[in-house]
Amino acid sequence: MTRFRALLTTRAAAVLALLVAGWPVLRWYALRLGDGSDEPHGLAALAAALFFAPWAAWREPLPPRRHALLATLLLAYCVAFPFAPPLVRALLFVAALGLAAAPRGFAVAWSSLLALSLPLVATLQFYLGYPLRALTAFLAAPLLALGGLRVEASGTTLAWAGERVIVDTPCSGLRMLWTGLVLAAVLACRLRLGARDTVTLFRHSALAVFIANTVRAAFIFCLETGLWPNPSWAHETVGLVLFGIVALGVVALAERRVAATAST
Predicted confidence (pLDDT) per residue in 136-172, tens digit: 999 999 999 998 889 999 999 999 888 888 898 888 9
Q: Is 235 exposed, middle or buried (0-12, 13-18, 19+ CB in 10 A)?
A: middle
Q: By the 8 A CB rule, do 153 and 219 touch?
A: no
Segment 51-77 shows an average pLDDT of 85
Please report the pLDDT score of residue 263 as a whole number: 64
Segment 210-217 shows an average pLDDT of 95
Segment 110-122 shows an average pLDDT of 93
pLDDT tens by residue, 217-262: 999 999 988 888 888 888 889 999 999 999 999 999 999 888 777 6
As beta bridge partners, residue 166 has 157
Please report the pLDDT score of residue 55 as a whole number: 81
pLDDT tens by residue, 21-32: 889 999 999 888
Q: How many CB atoms lie under 10 A from the CB of residue 123?
A: 17
Please report the pLDDT score of residue 242 as a whole number: 95
Q: What torsion, rounded to 10 degrees, do the Cα atoms 209, 210, 215, 219 define?
A: 80
Please report the pLDDT score of residue 128 as a whole number: 92
The C-alpha angle 95, 6, 98, rounded to 5 degrees, equals: 10
Please report the pLDDT score of residue 209 as a whole number: 96
- Percentage of the chain beyond pLDDT 70 is 94
Would the pLDDT of 47 be above 70?
yes
The C-alpha angle 182, 183, 184, rounded to 5 degrees, equals: 90
pLDDT tens by residue, 67-105: 888 889 889 998 998 899 999 999 999 999 998 888 888
Q: Among the residues of 36-120, which ranges form H helices?
A: 42-52, 65-80, 86-101, 107-116
Distance CA 192, CA 107 (A): 9
Would the pLDDT of 5 be above 60?
no
Distance CA 59, CA 10 (A): 6
Q: What are phi and psi of 57, to 5 degrees?
A: -70, -15
Please report the pLDDT score of residue 64 as a whole number: 79
Distance CA 80, CA 223 (A): 48
Of 174, 28, 14, residue with least CA distance to 88? 28
Of 197, 205, 219, residue with least CA distance to 247? 205
Please report the pLDDT score of residue 2 as a whole number: 53
Please report the pLDDT score of residue 4 as a whole number: 46
Q: 174 or 7: whose pLDDT is higher?
A: 174
Please report the pLDDT score of residue 161 as a whole number: 83
Q: Which are the contacts of 86, defined by CB distance < 8 A and separation ≥ 6?
A: 25, 28
Q: What is the pTM of this model?
A: 0.92
